[in-house]
Chains A and B, each alone.
Chain A
Amino acid sequence: MARKVFHAMYDDDDKLKEAAQLIVDKGIRVKEVFSPFPIHGIDPIIGVKRTRLAICAFMYALTGTSLALLGMWYFMISDWPMNIGGKPNQSLINNITSFLPVTFEFSVLCGAHGMSITYLLRNGTVPGMIADNPHPRSTNDRFIMEVTTDENSSMSADDISQLLSSTNPEELSEKEY
Chain B
Amino acid sequence: MQKEAAIREPLILGDKSYSQITEDVMAPIVGSPTMWWKVLITISGIIAAWGVGNILYLLGVGIGTWGLNKTVGWAWDITNFVWWVGIGHAGTLISAVLLLFRQKWRMAINRSAEAMTIFAVMMAALFPGIHMGRIWQAYWVFPLPNQFGSLWVNFNSPLLWDVFAISTYFSVSLVFWYIGLIPDFATIRDKVSGGWRKKLYTALSFGWSGRAKHWTRFEEVSLVLAGIATPLVFSVHSIVSMDFATAIIPGWHTTIFPPYFVSGAVFSGFAMVLTLLLIMRKAMGLEAYIHTKHVEYMNIVIIVTGSIVGVAYITELFISWYSGVEYESYAFINRATGPYWWSYAIMMTCNVISPQLFWFKKLRTSLMFTFIMSLIINLGMWYERYVIIVTSLHRDYLPSSWSEFHSTFVDLGIFVGTLGIFMTLFLLFARFFPVLALNELKTILKSSGENFKKADH
A interface vs B, CB < 8 Å? 14, 32-43, 46, 48, 50-51, 53-54, 57, 61, 71-72, 75-76, 79-80, 84-85, 87, 95, 98-99, 101-102, 104-106, 108-109, 111-113, 115-116, 119-120, 122-133, 136-141
A102 touches B18 (CB 8 A): no
Cβ–Cβ contact B215 & A37, under 8 A: yes
Contact of A33 among B152, B179, B211 (CB under 8 A): B211
In the assembled complex, 15 residue pairs joining A and B whose CB atoms fall closer than 8 Å, in A order, are A35-B210, A36-B210, A50-B216, A54-B224, A102-B160, A108-B172, A112-B176, A115-B221, A116-B179, A123-B217, A128-B207, A131-B208, A139-B191, A140-B187, A141-B19
Does B14 touch A at the CB level, under 8 Å? no
Give the contacting residue for A48; candidates B1, B150, B151, B213; CB below 8 A. B213
Check B172–A125 contact: CB distance below 8 A: no
With the chains together, A114 CA to B421 CA distance in Å?
A: 31
Q: Decide: A141 and B22 in contact? CB cutoff 8 A.
A: yes
What secondary structure prevails in chain B residues at the interface with A? helix
Provide the bound-state CA to CA distance between A46 and B18, in Å: 23
Q: Name B235's contact: one of A72, A75, A101, A122 (CB within 8 Å).
A: A101
Q: For B19, list chain A residues within 8 Å (CB).
A: 140-141
Partner pick for B168 among A43, A50, A84, A106, CB 8 A cutoff:
A106
Q: If A106-B164, A140-B187 touch, does A115 touch B225 (CB 8 Å cutoff)?
A: yes
Q: Which of chain B's residues have a CB closer than 8 A to the CB of A128?
A: 203, 207
Residues of A close to B442: CB separation below 8 A:
36-37, 141
Whether the Cβ atoms of B443 and A37 lie closer than 8 Å is yes
Contacts of B150 in A (CB 8 A): 79-80
**Pair A72/B151 contact, Cβ less than 8 Å:** no
A111 to B210, CA, bound (A): 25
Q: CB within 8 Å of A: which of B189-228? A: 189-191, 202-203, 205-221, 224-225, 228
Does residue B113 face the partner (Cβ distance < 8 Å to A)? no
A67 CA to B161 CA in the complex, in Å? Answer: 16
Give Cα distance in the complex from A87 to B154, angstroms. Answer: 11
CA distance A104 to B258 in the complex (A): 16
Give the total of B residues in contact with A, Cβ under 8 Å: 65
Q: Which 3 A-B pairs have the closest CB atoms?
A: A129-B207, A141-B18, A136-B190
Minimum C-beta distance from A150 to chain B (A): 19
The complex places the Cα of A134 from the Cα of B210 at a distance, in Å, of 10
Contacts of A14 in B (CB 8 A): 1
A51 B191 Cβ-Cβ under 8 A: no
B206 touches A133 (CB 8 A): no
On whether the beta carbons of A139 and B161 are closer than 8 Å, the reply is no
Question: CA A137 – CA B175 in complex, angstroms?
Answer: 27
Cβ-defined partner of A131 (8 Å) among B17, B155, B186, B219: B186
Residues of B within 8 A of A120 (CB): 179, 206
Tell me whether B156 and A102 are in contact (CB under 8 A).
Answer: no
The interface residues of chain A lying within 8 Å CB-to-CB of B439 are 36-38
Give every chain B residue within 8 A of A106 (Cβ-Cβ).
Answer: 164, 168
CA distance A42 to B1 in the complex (A): 11
Chain A residues positioned under 8 Å from B153 (CB to CB): 75
**Assuming the A-B contacts A36-B187, A71-B143, A101-B242, are A119 and B179 also in contact, with contact meaning beta carbons closer than 8 angstroms in the complex?**
yes
Task: Give the distance to chain B from A70, nearest Cβ to Cβ, in Å.
Answer: 12
**Contacts A38-B216, A125-B207 hold; do A140 and B191 have CB atoms under 8 A apart?**
yes
Which chain B residue shows the least CB distance to A101?
B161
Which chain A positions have C-beta within 8 A of B438?
A: 36-37
Q: Does B171 contact A (CB under 8 A)?
A: yes
Report whether B172 and A101 are in contact in the complex, using a CB–CB cutoff of 8 Å.
no
- B239 interface contact, C-beta 8 A: yes
Contacts of B225 in A (CB 8 A): 112, 115-116
Cα separation A115 to B229 with both chains bound (whole Å): 13
Further 19 A-B residue pairs, CB within 8 A, beyond A37-B443, A51-B217, A111-B228: A14-B1, A32-B212, A33-B211, A34-B210, A37-B442, A39-B212, A101-B161, A101-B242, A105-B161, A105-B164, A105-B239, A108-B228, A108-B232, A119-B218, A120-B179, A122-B217, A125-B208, A131-B208, A139-B186
Instruction: Return A12 CB to nearest CB of chain B, in Å.
Output: 9
The CA of A71 and the CA of B155, in the complex, are separated in Å by 10
| Contact indicator B207/A53 (Cβ below 8 Å) | no
Contact B168 A48 (CB under 8 A): no
- Are B235 and A140 closer than 8 Å at their CB atoms? no
Q: Are B206 and A129 touching (Cβ within 8 A)?
A: yes
With A106-B168, A108-B228, A141-B17 known as contacts, the answer to whether A39 contacts B210 (CB < 8 A) is: no
Contacts of B156 in A (CB 8 A): 76, 84-85, 87, 95, 98
Q: Determine whether the beta carbon of A139 is less than 8 Å from that of B152.
A: no
Which residues of the other chain, A, contact B213 by a CB distance below 8 angstroms? 32, 48
